[in-house]
Amino acid sequence: MSHPVAEERPAAHGDALNLVRAEIAEAAGPEAAAQRVVELLHDRFPHYDWVGIYWVSSDGDDLVLGPWTGPEATEHTRIPIGTGICGAAAASGQTEIVPDVDADPRYLACFASTKSEIVVPIFEASEVIGEIDIDGSDLDAFDATDARFLEEVTALLAPLRPRT
Ligand code: SME
């Protein structure tokens, strides 16, 4: 018997949040912990095709790629705040869900396979210090459940920001 995806997702997300906490607790240090989190998200959720963390640069002007996992490296390792979907989310502090990247003029193309994207800012107090960026190979891959879950993950990631 099959279950609707909408009913399965919250339970999967709840489990994953506990695993994220465990990975962070067990990792050797903040950088290793952040790497383990992106790998866990990628492995647990088939629609999370490419998962990366960008951290805001020390001068506050750019997003700098930190840990990531996925089929290919991105050429966008440094993105000015305000540029692309990533830069928009960092500038506004709002989660961005883009159901069709080809229909969004802000989109900075990374992978031919990407059809949709979600970007969730990471906060320290009320300041954006980074973000999780996830690309999906299906149109409309991400919904409000992903957003809520990833917003909880970002709270766990904030203490892992590299100190420069
Ligand atoms: N697509 C993003 C750039 C980062 S790559 O997806 C990894 C954007 O529009 O900002």
42 touches 48 (CB < 8 A): yes
CB atoms near residue 97 (< 10 Å): 19
- pTM, two decimals, is 0.93
Ligand 1 centre distance from Cα of residue 83 (Å): 9
Nearest to 104 by CA among 120, 122, 90, 87: 87
Q: State if residue 62 touches ligand 1 by the CB under 6 angstroms criterion.
A: no
Q: State if residue 111 touches ligand 1 by the CB under 6 angstroms criterion.
A: no
| Cα–Cα dist 130/63, whole Å | 7
Q: What are 94's two structure tokens?
A: 């709002």
Nearest to 74 by CA among 120, 118, 113: 113
* Domains of the chain with bracketed CATH: 4-160 (3.30.450.40)
Q: What are 149's two structure tokens?
A: 């879950």
Q: State if residue 113 touches ligand 1 by the CB under 6 angstroms criterion.
A: no
Q: Is pLDDT at 131 greater than 60 in this prediction?
A: yes
Provide the H-helix boundaries in 27-92: 30-44, 84-92
Q: State if residue 69 touches ligand 1 by the CB under 6 angstroms criterion.
A: no
Q: Over the stretch 97-123, which tens digit does the pLDDT of each residue have?
A: 999 999 999 999 999 999 999 999 999
Residue 90: its pLDDT value, please?
A: 98
